[in-house]
Amino acid sequence: ETGVTQTPRHLVMGMTNKKSLKCEQHLGHNAMYWYKQSAKKPLELMFVYNFKEQTENNSVPSRFSPECPNSSHLFLHLHTLQPEDSALYLCASSQPGTGDGNTIYFGEGSWLTVV
Amino acid sequence: DAKTTQPTSMDCAEGRAANLPCNHSTISGNEYVYWYRQIHSQGPQYIIHGLKNNETNEMASLIITEDRKSSTLILPHATLRDTAVYYCIATGRDNTGKLIFGQGTTLQVKP
């Protein structure tokens, strides 16, 4: 248990569906992240939120839409995805400004399959 | 962030020390060395980090050479549950978590 909870753990969706991934952290952190891990590829940073504000969008296609309503919750809204978007999506959090901003706590991930 | 180089894979016998090397010859003075690991199908887990002094915690020890161009992560008594991909990352201390993960080293602990 890392203090970062992701739901659902597994999701299968069609290319025309709209779904959302949810992340909640119980660590009191102010930064949250979405990472993507495709098969046999390194983790890729997608988005960074700092104090609810998006501070990084790593050239992610608009079919991925993040939302951060507060420092504890992060969503990734998915629509019109492609089969190549099938991957493990990881949420993470950390506490920037404390010297430990890079001590990141990851959730277990959401396995997404687009059919 | 400085580039890091790690062996693709390593084996270790259960109960023995696992020594995972990392080369970061272009590391700058204010960059730390972080280690994470990812057990199959799980999210990465923070292990340890250091600047220039050797560090130890309940999971592992980190040995950084005096010139800081390389480091070694040591798991003192490897178990089968330590089988994972280990990532070495060199980055500024408060880079707000924008970590760049490479391919890492796949450590296989064998009985």
| pLDDT tens per residue, range B54-94 | 999 999 999 999 999 999 999 999 999 999 999 999 987 66
The pairing of beta strand A44-50 with beta strand A53-57? antiparallel
Q: What is the pLDDT of residues A14-45, one digit of tens each?
A: 999 999 999 999 999 999 999 999 987 889 99
CB-CB under 8 Å, B43 with A2: yes
Q: What is the mean pLDDT of residues B36-55?
A: 92
Phi-psi region of B60 (alpha: psi -120 to 50; beta: other; left: phi over 0): beta
Q: What is the pLDDT of residue A95?
A: 87
* Pairwise CB contact (< 8 Å): B97 & A48: yes
What is d(CA B5, CA A26) in angstroms, rounded to the nearest whole number? 34
The length of chain B in residues reads: 111
Contact call for residues A89 and A19 (beta carbons, < 8 A): no
What are the tens digits of pLDDT across the range A40-82? 788 999 999 999 999 989 999 999 999 999 999 999 999 999 9
Condensed to tens digits (0 to 9), the pLDDT of residues B11-41 reads: 999 999 999 999 999 998 888 999 999 998 8
In this structure, what token pair is assigned to residue A110?
A: 């959401």
Confidence of residue B95 (pLDDT cuts 50, 70, 90): low
d(CA B84, CA B20) in angstroms, rounded, equals 12
Of B74, B64, B55, B70, the closest CA to residue B24 belongs to B70
**Closest in A2, A102, A108 to B91, CB measured:** A102
Residue A100 has pLDDT above 80, yes or no: no
Residue A27 half-sphere exposure, CB side, CA atoms within 13 Å?
22
CA distance linking residue A1 with residue A8, whole number of Å: 16
Say if residue A101's pLDDT is above 70: no
B64 DSSP 8-state letter: E
